Structures are given as structure tokens and as C-alpha cells.
Amino acid sequence: MDAQLAVITGASTGIGRQLAKEFARNGFDLVLSADDDALDDVATELRGDGRQVWSVRRDLSTYPGVTELVERIESLDRPIDVLILNAGVGIGGPFVGETPLHDQLRVVDLNVSGTLHLAKRLLPAMVERGSGRLAVVSSTVAGLPGPFQSTYNASKAFVSSFAAAIAEELRGTGVTVTTVLPGLTDTEFFTRARMLDTRLGSLSFKDDPARVARETYRATMAGRAHVVTGPFYNWAFVLAGRLLPDRLLARLHRAVSAPDSAGAPIVG
């Protein structure tokens, strides 16, 4: 009997890399996608014990990139048992002035458009078959207006709402949808988003991405509607986003996300 197949985007680093390892440990064959050289290293590491791993290096912020990944998956002529839409990017800094428009648009193109496009292309076959699991990786900041992370937080709000909506649409089809809400995680995110000078970027108590991957795996395979990974205090971000007014949330967020906020007092 063939192993089950998991497709994981953003699989070269951080949470995505650990997700690839977690699914490999549990006997899955893998299709891994990212747009950097580290992807091949992950695929090479995980091949073995009869496991098949395909690496597809594509830029999923572009329409052709998504299309080429879908065509590669379809060429395998194998059903997708688990689809993990994890690819994402952030950009820190003022929306007006310093951050290039291209960088802000790429956040939307990858986090929002790429996620929607892949779901639209790959979910129909899962529904037609009557089985499959989708996990969409959002963030605990999805409910928080994010000064100096405005586009990123908004993109995570979109994917959280999107995942919850299609979960209800697909109820009873045999396909489950899990929204994953990680908190601060020890990955390359803050370096790539140019946020190392912020309080958020400099905090030392970030979660282990391997832990996030384990909890994501368990929740996805159990068909849970959502999972807040990591320490209990990550729930505080989620609950704050539901209970507090946006204006207050934005002010609190500014204190930890503003450039040069690392080491500065939160109230001053």
C-alpha cells in the first residue's frame, strides 16, 4: 500500500521545515515547496526508508508559480491526503515611507493570493474523493491590528477567516480544515522581515518550531477546527483580539513592533 501524501508549502525553513520532518517521521511521502536553495537540503535529508520526497522550488506569490506547483503535483497521479498551506512572508516598518510597495504587495500575493489559489486548485479533488485534511497556518496576531506590521497582520486575518469559512462549507464532505495559530516562534521570520530592532524581534522566549509542528500535526490529523500552538499565553493574544477594541490593540501592538523598540520601555 502506498504511503499517504502530504503537500507542504514554505517547507525550507522554520515551521514549514519542522512540519516536513514531522510528517516524514509519521511515514508520509512529501511534496515540499519553497522558493530558496534550502528546500533541496530538506528534501535530501528526509529521503530514505522507502519514503519519496519531491522538492518543487517555485515562487508561490506568483500565479505561474502556483500553477507550476499544481501541475507537478498532478503529474504524480496520487491523491493528496494532507495539504499544509504554510508559505508566508512578513515585512516590518512604517507603511507610509520606508517600506517599498513591492514588499507590501508580496505579503498579500504570497500569504493571501497564494493560499487562496492553491486551495482553489487542490481542494476539489479532495472533496470529490471524499477525504483529506487541509491546514492553513495563520498566526495569533490575526485578530490584532499591527502597526509596523500592518499588511502581515491583515493577511493573517484574511487566511483565518477564509479557513473558518471553507471549513463550514466543507462540513460533511470528508475533508477537514484546521486553522493553525502559532505565536512568537524561533524562526528566520524576524530577520527576513527586518524586525530585529523591535521588541518582538528581540524577545528571547519564542516558541520552538518543532513543538509548533508536532501540535499542528496532531490537530490536523484529528480534524480539529483550529489549534493555538505553544505556551498557554498565546491564547492571550487570541482572546485579546476578540475582546479588546481595535484602537487599544493597535496601541499595545505598536509598543512592541515599532522600529528601535527593542529594549525600550513599553510605557514611557
Q: Name which of 112, 109, 133, 124 is nearest 220 in CA terms.
A: 133
The answer to whether residue 233 is catalytic is no
Provide the grid cell at 98.
520606508
Taking a C-beta distance cutoff of 8 angstroms, is the pair 119, 169 a contact? no
Instruction: Tell me phi and psi for residue 150, to 5 degrees.
Output: -60, -45
Q: In the chain, which ranges are E strands?
A: 5-9, 29-34, 53-57, 82-85, 132-137, 175-181, 226-228
Task: Show the CA angle centred on residue 72, arms to residues 70 and 76, nearest 5°.
Answer: 110
Amino acid making up residue 167:
A
DSSP of 119-173, one letter per residue?
HHHHHHHHHHHT-EEEEEE--GGGGS--TTSHHHHHHHHHHHHHHHHHHHHTTTT
Determine the Cα–Cα distance for residues 176 and 88; give it in Å rounded to an integer.
Answer: 21
Mark 128-165 as b/e (b = at least 16 C-beta within 10 Å).
eeeebbbbbbbbbbbbbbbbbbbbbbbbbbbbbebbee
Residue from 63, 152, 217, 233 carrying the catalytic annotation: 152
Q: What residues are paired with 205 via a beta bridge?
A: none
Provide the grid cell at 140.
495569533
Provide the grid cell at 136.
492553513
Catalytic residues: 152
